[in-house]
């Protein structure tokens, strides 16, 4: 299966379970792997035969900068289901949501959740 990857999309959101997270907000990163057949678009050189990266970014931004969620798991699930619903070309999607510098005891560079979802047949 062919893949389109979008890496380290950066957003500022107010997600988390601690009061300071929902008040102050923080940066989040999203990585996407979208699997689909790219043979038609490779031959046609036409954007209508593939995924518009700008439209994908806008969809992910609306979730990441939208309604606060407690869990990054929820954000990843919303992104994956929205991508599969919005873009019929996508067969499988992997979504990774990274929360740099989480406010938990000890020093952690980041925490992340990665999920893989497929289109229902």
Which residues form the catalytic set?
A: 99
Q: Give the pair of three-digit tokens for residue 10.
A: 């950066």
> What's the rounded Cα separation, in Å, for the pair 116 and 42?
25
Contact 48, 88 (CB under 8 A): no
Contact 117, 92 (CB under 8 A): yes
Angle at 111 between CA 80 and CA 104, to 5 degrees: 135
CA 3 to each of CA 32, 38, 57, 110, 118: distance values in angstroms, whole numbers, following the listed order: 10, 8, 16, 26, 13
């Amino acid at each position: 299966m062919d893949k389109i990857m979008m890496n380290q999309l950066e957003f500022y959101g107010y997600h988390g379970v601690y009061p300071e997270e929902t008040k102050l907000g923080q940066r989040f990163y999203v990585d996407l792997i979208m699997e689909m057949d790219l043979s038609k678009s490779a031959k046609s050189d036409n954007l209508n035969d593939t995924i518009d990266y700008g439209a994908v970014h806008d969809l992910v931004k609306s979730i990441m900068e939208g309604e606060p969620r407690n869990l990054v798991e929820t954000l990843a699930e919303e992104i994956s289901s929205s991508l599969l619903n919005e873009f019929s070309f996508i067969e499988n999607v992997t979504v990774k949501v990274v929360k740099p510098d989480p406010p938990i005891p000890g020093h952690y560079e980041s925490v992340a959740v990665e999920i893989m979802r497929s289109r229902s047949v």
